[in-house]
Amino acid sequence: MRWLALRTVTVVGCIAALAVVSKLLSANLDTYVFLVVIQCGVAMTLAGSLNLINGITGQFSIGHAGFYAVGAYVGAAWTVLWQPIAVRYLPLLHLGTPLGDTLTLLIAIVVGAAAAAVAGVVVGLPSLRLRGDYLAIVTLGFGEVIRVVILNIDAVGGARGLTGIPTLVGSGDLAFFWVFGLVVAVVALSRNLMRTTRGLTWLAVREDEIAADAMGVDTTRVKVTAFVVGSAFAGVAGVLYAHYFTSISPDVFGMDMSIIITTMVVLGGTGSVSGSLLAAIVLTALPEFLRFMQDYRMVIFSTMLVVVMLTRPQGMFGHGEISFATFRRLLGRRRAGGAKP
């Protein structure tokens, strides 16, 4: 019972803190900066969810934009195409009222997550037979196939993209609340995975799949679960993206996007949640600050990627995490160094 109480307090506390922070930020930040903050949130979710697959389970998926696209398109298709039909039978869903908006968004999230999860199963199945770089190429291929399929579905706009999605998350504090709520969810899930017995099986698959198999870990299940959970989160990120920016097109979810998400995870250190999130922030915000470098920033990015791979193959943080303990250790070391005679 105590466990349940603790959980409830944590969840309610998180929601309250998010609500307060979102009110504060949306009231005080410049519109443009706020937009970048939301983009950072979406990128953080994507990086965190890919880290579940690449970092924690050790599979190598580089087609994450595909799941992001499935979530965005299915979620948007629900609000644009199917919701007006549903509203006839369920007046509760009527847009414009807070209840209707929230319910519609929740359904969009569920639908988007489910569709992305199904795509995750489809992509996860090859991972049972393939390892390493072959798996990477297949996931990249799947991402591309998803994009080409979307391009050819006329109902969602094809190459023109889907526009006129009702903005259910608004453009202010509500958007921040939803997007960063999702980030918190990814972080909480990753943290719990790293500390529980169930998560241990995921880490075991990363460290040595054959040994894990020999120890009785159901590696098939672990891998498919990782793909399903990771892609579901990417799908929800897609839903929120679609309902924040109100228009989506297949170009957004191309191979570049996949590679940028992978870069976030790899730069931050595969397996390090805080590292991936930090890299997501840096890689999303940096291009905005480097606007004046327009043509050169991608060159700098790619060079940075190569140099980091050559100099720190384990990523900036490796498997380590940034936490209060890190700062304490850093401070402690300095103090100890100073106290030395």
Partner 1 sequence: MQQIAQQLIYGIQLGSLYALIALGYTMVYGVLRLINFAHGDVYMVGAFVGFYACTRWLPFKDLAAHPEAAGANIALAVVALLLAMAICSAMGVLIERFAYRPLRNGLQKADAHFWGLVLGFPITGLFMPVFSGWGPLVAVAVGMGVGFAMRPLVAWLARRVKLSESRLNALITAIGVSLLLENGGLLVFGANPNFIPNILPEHTYTLPGGVMVGSSQLTILGVSVFLMLALRYIVMYTRPGKAMRAISHDIEAAKLMGIDTDRVIAFTFALGGALAGAGGAMVAALTHVKITPLFGLLPGLKAFVAAVLGGAGSLPGAMVGGLLMGSAESFVAGSSLSMFRDAIAFCVLIIILLVRPAGLMGRHVPEKV
Instruction: Please report, as ranges, the residues that interact with partner 1 according to CB under 8 A.
Output: 60, 62, 126, 129-130, 132-134, 136-138, 140-142, 144-145, 148-149, 151-152, 210, 255, 259, 262-263, 266, 292-293, 295-314
Output the smallest distance, CB 52 to partner 1, in A. Answer: 16
Q: How far is residue 174 from each of residues 23, 72, 179, 260, measured CA to CA in Å?
A: 8, 18, 9, 27
**Of 158 and 166, which has the nearer Cβ to partner 1?**
158
Output the smallest distance, CB 28 to partner 1, in A. Answer: 32
Which of these, 51, 314, 22, lies nearest to 176 by C-alpha position?
22
**Of 167 and 314, which has the nearer Cβ to partner 1?**
314
**Of 126 and 161, which has the nearer Cβ to partner 1?**
126
Output the smallest distance, CB 130 to partner 1, in A. Answer: 6
Which of these, 53, 65, 120, lies nearest to 271 by C-alpha position?
53
**Of 19 and 144, which has the nearer Cβ to partner 1?**
144
Output the smallest distance, CB 65 to partner 1, in A. Answer: 14
CB contact set of 148 (below 8 Å; sequence gap of 6+) = none
Rg (CA), the chain: 21
199 alpha-carbon distance from chain centroid: 19
Output the smallest distance, CB 195 to partner 1, in A. Answer: 25
CA distance 290 to 299: 12
Encoding tokens for residue 17? Answer: 């803190």
Q: How many CB atoms lie within 10 A of CB 36?
A: 17
Q: How far is residue 97 from each of residues 1, 79, 139, 174, measured CA to CA in Å?
A: 37, 15, 41, 14
Q: Give DSSP secondary structure letters for 156-176.
A: GTGGG-B-----TT-SSHHHH
β-partners of residue 248 are 162
Output the smallest distance, CB 140 to partner 1, in A. Answer: 8
Output the smallest distance, CB 105 to partner 1, in A. Answer: 32
Scanning the structure block, which residue is given the tokens 């968004």? 105
**Of 188 and 309, which has the nearer Cβ to partner 1?**
309
Output the smallest distance, CB 295 to partner 1, in A. Answer: 6
CA distance 18 to 11: 11
Q: How many CB atoms lie within 10 A of CB 90?
A: 13
**Of 96 and 216, which has the nearer Cβ to partner 1?**
216
CA distance 162 to 232: 21
**Of 134 and 327, which has the nearer Cβ to partner 1?**
134
Output the smallest distance, CB 158 to partner 1, in A. Answer: 9
**Of 171 and 314, which has the nearer Cβ to partner 1?**
314
**Of 49 and 61, which has the nearer Cβ to partner 1?**
61
**Backbone region of residue 132 per phi and psi (left: phi > 0; alpha: psi in -120 to 50; beta: other values):** left
Check if the beta carbon of residue 175 is closer than 8 Å to that of residue 245: no
**Backbone region of residue 58 per phi and psi (left: phi > 0; alpha: psi in -120 to 50; beta: other values):** left
